[in-house]
Amino acid sequence: MWGNRWGMSTGIRIPKGDQDLDELKSRIKQHISAKDAGLEFIPLRERAMISAKGSINLGEYIGYFSFFIIVAALALTGMLFIFSIEQRNQQTGLLLATGFTPGRIRKLFLLEGMILSTVGSLLGIFLGLGYAKALLWGLANVWDGLTGAMLIRFSANVQTLVIGGGGGVAMATLSIWVALRKQLGREPRELLHAGDQLEISGQSRPTGRLSHLLGVLLFVIALLQIAFSGGSGGTQATGNFFVCGFIFLLAALFYFNGRLARIAYHNNDLPDISVLGFRNTARRRGRSLVTIGVLAAGVFMVVAVSSFQTFGEKDWTKKSSGTGGFAITAQSAIPIYDDLNTERGREEFGLDPEKLEGVYVVPFRVRQGGDASCLNLNKTSEPTLLGVNPSELKGRFQFADKKNGWLQLDDLTEGMEIVPGIADQNTVQYGLGLKPDGLITYKDETGKPFQVRIVAMVQGSVLQGRIIIAENRFVEKFPSQAGYTQFLADAPAEKLDNVVVHLTNTLRDQGMEAHPAWLRLSEFLAVQNTYLSIFQALGGLGLLIGSAGLGIVVARNLLERRREFGLLEALGYPIKAIRKMAVVEHRWLLTWGLAAGTATALIAVWPAILNRQEGIPFRELGILVLLLGMTSLFWIIVATQLSLKNSTLPALREE
C-alpha cells in the first residue's frame, strides 16, 4: 500500500543468532553504500577550486592577441638598431682602418646595444605593469558587466616580466649582431666612402618568383590548418585562429617581397616623379617589408576583432536570429502547471485574452544547475537542464552545422543512458570547454548517473548557459520535477512592451519576470563585446606601433636622402615635386600594409563568422580601414612637409 520508487520495505529485521554483530556490519557494508541510499558526498573545496579557475582564461586570450603586437615590436626594435649601425658605417670603417679587430668592434657595439636595450626593456616592464593595472581597473569599473561582483587583484608574475624584458634585450642584441656581421665584412675604404648610404642588410633575399611561390605555399598551409581544425573549440580554436592568421601574414609578406623584387629589377619605365616614388619602395626592401609587416599586424588585430562585434536588437524578429524569433523570455519562481496558450490556462491566472492576442508561449521544464553562460566567469560542470517539446522550436535559431536541427532531441539510437542535447555554441566551446558530441554527466533524481551528448549547437542565442533535452527524456530522468518555470513567447512587435508588463504584473504571485528577448540576448553579447573591446585596445596599441614604425621609416628615409633630393632639385625638379615623390613612395607602403592586414584578417575570420546571422560587417570595416588609412596618410604628409620644408641644395653642396 505504501510502496514507492525506492521499494516496498521500510526496514529489515535480523533475528539474533550465533553470528557476531561486527561481522554482520562488515558484510552489510560490503554490499550497501551511502550512494545506494541516495546520499552523495561532494568535495566542496575541490569543486570550488575548479570553479574558481574560471571557464575562460582571459590571460591566455590576451597572450594570443598580444602575439602580433610582440612580433611587430620586435621587428621594429630590430629595424631601429640596424638603423643605428648603418648610421655609424664611417665610425666602423675608421676603427677598422686604425687597427681595431672586428671582434673588438663587435664587443664594443654589442655592449652599447645591450645597455640601451636593457634600459628600454626596464622601462617597458614598468609601462607593462601600468597597462595591466589599467586593464584590471577597467574590468572592475568600466567593464564591470563582465566581472559582476568578482574581486580582482593585481598580481605580478616575475617569470613573465623576465621573459618580456629579456626578449627585448635578446632581439636588440641579435639585430646588432646580424648588422655587424654584414658591416664588418666590408672593406674599411668602402665604409668610409659610403657612410650611411651603404645598406648593410645584404642582398641575399629570395627572388620575386621564389617569394611568390613561398607565399602561395604558406597560404595553402594556413587554409588546410583552418579546414582540419574546424571542430575545435575554446582556447584551441583561438590558438588555431592566430596560428593561421600569422601564417597568412607571412604569406602576404612573401608576396610583397616578390612584388618589391620585380619593381627593383624589372621596371624599366621612364621615371616621372610618381613612377620614381613607386620604384623607390624597392630601394631598401628590408625596411619596406618591416614597415608593411608592422602596419599589417596592427590592422589585422583591429579588423579581426571588429568583425565579431554584434548587437542583440538587430533582426531579432527573424527565426534564425539569436532570439529564435521569440519576442519575450520569462521565468517564474514557482512552477506553472497550466498551458498558458489555452483559454482555461489564461483564466486560471487572470490573464487578459485581448492583451495576449497573438501571443504564443513555449514552456520549458527546468532542472536547476550551474550557469555556464558568459555572465558567469566561474566554471560549472553541471549546467542547468531544460526540457522542451522539440517540435515547438522547429525552424528556430541558427545551428553551427546547418544539417542539424531540434528533432535530433528525439533520437533514441543510443539507449536510455545517453540523452541527446543541444546547447549554445559559446556555452559548449568556452563555458564548458567541450567539442561537438561532447558528453556531460548528470544524475537523475534516484542518484543514477546518465550522460547528455551535445548533438548540435545553436549560434549566439538566448539559450546560452543551458542544455536543452527533449521533454519526454526530461520526465524519465526527473519524474517528480513537475511544471514549467522558464518560457519563450512569440508576440507582435508593437505589443511587446505591454505584454511584458502584463505577464510580470499578473503572474507576480508565481514570481514571474519577463523581459524582451533581444534585451536578454544583448546582455550576453555585451559580455562578448566587452572582451572584444579589451582586445581592440590591444589592436590600437599595435596600430600605434605600426604608425610609429611608418613615421620612423619616413623620417629616416628622407633624412639620409637629402643629398639625392638636392641633386633632383639641381636638375630642375621643384621641391614641391620632390615632396610628392616622397609621399607617393610611403603611400604605397601604407596601402600595402592596410591591404595585407585587412585581407588576411578577413580570410582568417571568415570560417568563424560565415554562418552568423549578422555576417561580416563590411560597411563598418570599410569605414574603419578608411579612417586608419587617412590617419596614417596624414602623418606621412606631415613628416614629409617637416623634413622637406626648405630647399635641399645645401645638402648637395656639402657632399
Angle at 72 between CA 198 and CA 558, to 5 degrees: 35
CB 430 within 8 A of CB 372: no
* Residue 364: per-residue pLDDT: 92
Angstrom distance (rounded) from CA 67 to CA 72: 9
With vertex at residue 81, the alpha carbon angle to CA 77 and CA 84, rounded to the nearest 5 degrees, is: 145
Asked if the model's pLDDT at residue 231 lies above 50, the reply is no
Q: Are strands 384-388 and 466-470 parallel, antiparallel or unpaired?
A: parallel
Percent of the chain with pLDDT over 70: 84
User: 362 versus 224: which is more confidently predicted?
Assistant: 362
CA 444 to chain centre: 38
Q: What pLDDT, on the 0 to 100 scale, is given for residue 395?
A: 83
CB 454 within 8 A of CB 436: yes
Phi then psi dihedrals of residue 641, to 5 deg: -60, -40
Is pLDDT of 267 > 80?
Answer: no
**Is-contact 171 77, C-beta < 8 A?**
yes
Question: Which long-range contacts link 155-164 to residues 24+ away (Cβ below 8 Å)?
Answer: 156/129, 156/132, 161/125, 161/128, 161/129, 164/121, 164/124, 164/125, 164/128
- Distance, in Å, from the CA atom of 628 to the CA atom of 630, rounded to the nearest integer, reads 6
Q: 518, 316 in Cβ contact below 8 A?
A: yes
Half-sphere exposure in the Cβ direction for 173 (13 Å, CA): 14
> Is pLDDT of 54 > 50?
yes
Answer whether 176's CB lies under 8 Å from 113's CB. Answer: yes
Confidence band for 58, pLDDT divided at 50, 70 and 90: low
Among 69-83, 96-110, 502-516, the range scoring the smallest mean pLDDT is 69-83
pLDDT in tens, 172-216: 788 778 777 777 777 888 777 766 665 555 455 556 778 888 888
In tens, the pLDDT along 85-125 reads 777 888 888 888 888 888 888 888 888 888 988 998 899 88
pLDDT value, residue 103? 86
Share the mean pLDDT of the chain. 79
Question: Residues with Cβ < 8 Å from 362, sequence gap 6 or more?
Answer: 326, 388, 389, 392, 393, 487, 488, 489
Q: In sequence order, what are the residues at sequence separation of 6 or more whose Cβ sits closer than 8 angstroms to the Cβ of residue 247?
A: 218, 219, 221, 222, 225
Task: Tell me which residue of 623, 630, 629, 545 sits closest to 592, measured CA to CA.
Answer: 629
In the predicted structure, residue 11 carries a pLDDT above the cut 70: yes
Looking at the chain, the whole-number percentage of residues with pLDDT higher than 90 is 1
Residues 571-589 have a mean pLDDT of: 85
How far is the C-alpha of 564 from the C-alpha of 573, rounded, in Å? 12
**402 DSSP assignment:** T
Q: Please say if the pLDDT value at position 307 is more than 60.
A: yes
By mean pLDDT, which of 149-153, 344-348, 503-507, 509-513 is the weakest? 149-153
pLDDT of residue 53: 64
Summarize pLDDT for 422-446 with one digit per residue, the tens: 888 877 877 777 777 788 888 887 7
pLDDT at 548 over 80: no
Give the mean model confidence (pLDDT) for residues 14-30: 81
Task: Answer yes or no: is pLDDT of 305 > 50.
Answer: yes
CA nearest neighbour of 464 among 55, 26, 27: 55
**Ramachandran angles phi, psi of 489, nearest 5°:** -135, 140
Whole-number pLDDT of residue 99: 86
Check residue 351 and give its pLDDT.
86
Give per-residue pLDDT as tens, 627-653: 888 888 887 888 888 888 888 778 777
Q: Residue 366: what are its φ and ψ, rounded to 5°?
A: -130, 130
- Which of 320 and 375 is assigned the larger pLDDT? 320
User: CA distances (Å), 301 to each of 64, 323, 438, 445, 536, in order?
Assistant: 11, 29, 31, 49, 7
